[in-house]
Amino acid sequence: MAMTGGAALTTLLVAERWGLDIGDPWGPTVLAAAVGVAVGVRAPLVAIFLIPEMLGDYMLLPVVAVVVAVAAGVDRMIDVAVLRVGAMLPTGVYDEDA
């Protein structure tokens, strides 16, 4: 959670330094922290309720739920793609490789 939130904040501050008008970086940082919990711990339901609970703002629930659902879906699609590519790779050791 801290790593993804920190990475988002750093990215936003660098973009602002380059001249992009970012506005308040609080929202994207909070959402990135929720994505960190959802993907890093593989606990999307925990992420949906943990972040608004920690902040004390339950109005964030719908926004966090949408962002976490998208992040969890992308995470699952990446897993499926990696497994499919891995299934195409040879699994045995050949005599000439030993």
Given pLDDT bands bounded at 50, 70 and 90, which one contains residue 1? confident
The count of domains in the chain is 1
Looking at residue 22, the DSSP 8-state letter turns out to be -
Is 29 inside a domain boundary?
Answer: yes
Confidence band (pLDDT; 50, 70, 90) for 66? very high
Residue 87's pLDDT is: 86
Q: Which residues contact 39 (CB under 8 A, 6 or more apart)?
A: 71, 72, 75
- pLDDT beyond 70 at 69: yes
For the residues 55-76, what does the mean pLDDT come to? 95
In a domain, 47, yes or no: yes
In a domain, 74, yes or no: yes
